[in-house]
Amino acid sequence: MRLRVLLWLPLLLLLTGGNAFAAQKWGIPHEKPVILRGQVVDLLCVAAGDCAPDCGAGRRQLGLLTAEGTLYPAVKSNVFFAGATLDLLPYCGREVTVDGLVIENPAMTLLFVQSLRGSGEAEWKPARAFIEDWETRNGPAREWWREDPKVKAVIARDGVFGIPGLEPAD
């Protein structure tokens, strides 16, 4: 009987939506896969009382405030060189569950959102809203950061090192 229970346990967890981590480790020091539940908040609003409508409408850094009062700045999504603001923005002020990584560095704790779902939603959504929005505006690109018109304009103006006139050695 005990063996039969052990054989059925993985299937039962799968069917009941158990909290199995789906987050992939990225090899960053102090990283820890997590599933967190909390309210999506505007960090500047929580930290300084400077609140904007709709969590800043995509122009502010967002985070997750847990019921225990822990504030996690959501600084990264699944897209290279992109944050999680566009993924979290539709949930401004609402509760979400996030599957991702927490980097618990002694200087600061950061949240890397890999997937999320709103309260009452059954399906996990991958944190890819940035690239979906970017491709809608600019078309597909293998490496968006090399094709971005804003990035190209800054490099043309300031050079690859951010200092006008400073050029890389050949």
The answer to whether the predicted template modeling score (pTM) of the entire model surpasses 0.85 is no
- The total of structural domains in the chain comes to 2
Alpha carbon of 8 to those of 2, 75, 90, 164: distances in Å? 10, 38, 38, 64
Q: Is the pLDDT of residue 7 over 70?
A: no
Q: Kindly state whether residue 52 falls inside one of the protein's structural domains.
A: yes
Q: Is the pLDDT of residue 1 over 60?
A: no
- pLDDT above 70 covers a percentage of the chain that reads 88
Query: pLDDT tens digit string along 134-143?
Result: 999 999 999 9
* Higher local confidence (pLDDT), 167 or 87: 87
Q: Are residues 112 and 145 in the same domain?
A: no
Q: Are residues 89 and 37 in the same domain?
A: yes
Q: What is the pLDDT of residue 15?
A: 35
Q: Are residues 90 and 161 in the same domain?
A: no
Q: Kindly state whether residue 89 falls inside one of the protein's structural domains.
A: yes
Domain range enclosing 147 = 140-170
Q: Are residues 76 and 159 in the same domain?
A: no
